[in-house]
Chain A
Amino acid sequence: MSTETLTKSTLLELSGIPAGSPVAAAIDGRSNIIALSQTTEDAVLKPLETGAWSHDIRAALAARIAALNGETALADRYCALIEDASVADLADPLRSGKAQGLETICDFMDKVAVQTRDIDAPDIKSLQEAGVSDADIVRLCEINAFMAYQVRVLAGIRLMKEARP
């Protein structure tokens, strides 16, 4: 993982809100939430205790989920954090993860991101049967869950900015 730190706020940087606009004022009113969102990004993407998922794998999976959500700029941002070339193509939703032995993980992450409602007990069982520990399953879910939040906040703020009356 690059030593370059994420800038202070991914949400602010990528949403490009003009200073002094009504949207900027609304965001100022929730500056605590924006700051906590960044703290959470750091905890999910760059934890001290990584379990089975290195910072590089996390960045690649985050980029993959951003891409599945059509958030190209966000996907690029996470891709730029990947230093380990051997996991870089996990960021591409068209790649299966087979080359890295992470096919089951990629299938699971894609389904949780896109077909959340269809997830059922066998999806967790298949991870357990593939030898993924329960703690690492929780870690995967947190990465996926955080990304679901971040992509929607970005999409929503962009609409606020673009769809002015």
Chain B
Amino acid sequence: MSDVIRKFTRNVPDWRPRVEPIKLEDATPEQLEALQVTPSNTKISAYVLTLAHDVETLKVRSPLFNGIMYDKGGLSREERELGALAASMVNHCIYCAAVHASRHAQIAKDTSVTDELFAKGTRADLSPRNRAIFDFAHALSQTPSEASPEQMSALRAAGLEDAEILDLILSAALFGWANRLMHVLGDPVRKGGA
């Protein structure tokens, strides 16, 4: 198991399931529909083929995921990624953290925030607004949530409107979900490995 990645990185690893994903050739019509398999789209990730074991949830989860991360208005894309990253760091989901740190760096056109977070964790040196966002999402991701009224006030003091705060809650909470699939059902492994 030496190819399993244990440290946070922005290099998105491969994901190796711990259970057997469904086989496309055995998929039911409902699974094929949820997988959105078309003649031009037959390359489905091992992760999605794993989730296809619970097809009813898979079907409804994708629109929810896309809505929370990409719908217009409210919190910026970059800051939603920061919420997702905070949750993934709490849950030590190396794969989700890599995907969302790399998206954050892409959108922000800056790697310094995620470099700092991966190097120093909660002691990272962040702008006041990023600090308030990260601290709140990090606390909300504990079990039970440790998010406090003071942290909520800090978000407002940093200039976040209620619509933005709601988006932050949704993105952090969504990764409480995603991490419990990605980190539990498989291992992040070096790309191109066995």
Interface residues of A, Cβ cutoff 8 Å to B:
22-23, 25-27, 29-30, 32-33, 36-37, 39-40, 43-44, 47-49, 51, 68-71, 112-114, 116-117, 119, 121, 123-125, 128, 134-135, 137-139, 141-142, 144-146, 148-153, 155-157, 159-160, 162-163, 165
Contact = CB atoms under 8 A, between A and B. Distances in A.
Main SS of chain B's interface residues?
helix
Interface string B127-164: 00000000000001101110111011100100001110
B57 A30 contact: no
A149 B18 CA distance: 23
8 contacts: A119-B183, A119-B184, A145-B180, A152-B172, A155-B147, A156-B145, A159-B151, A159-B152
A43 B54 CA distance: 9
Nearest to B145: A155
Nearest to A37: B64
Interface string B1-12: 100000000000
B119 interface: no
Interface residues of B, number: 59
A157 B173 CA distance: 11
Which of A30, A68, A71: most chain B Cβ within 10 A?
A30
B42 to A, nearest CB: 22
A48 B74 CA distance: 35
A131 to B, nearest CB: 14
B102 to A, nearest CB: 21
Nearest to B180: A145
B162 A153 contact: no
B59 A23 contact: no
Contact of A123 (B55, B169, B173, B184): B184
B184 A141 contact: yes
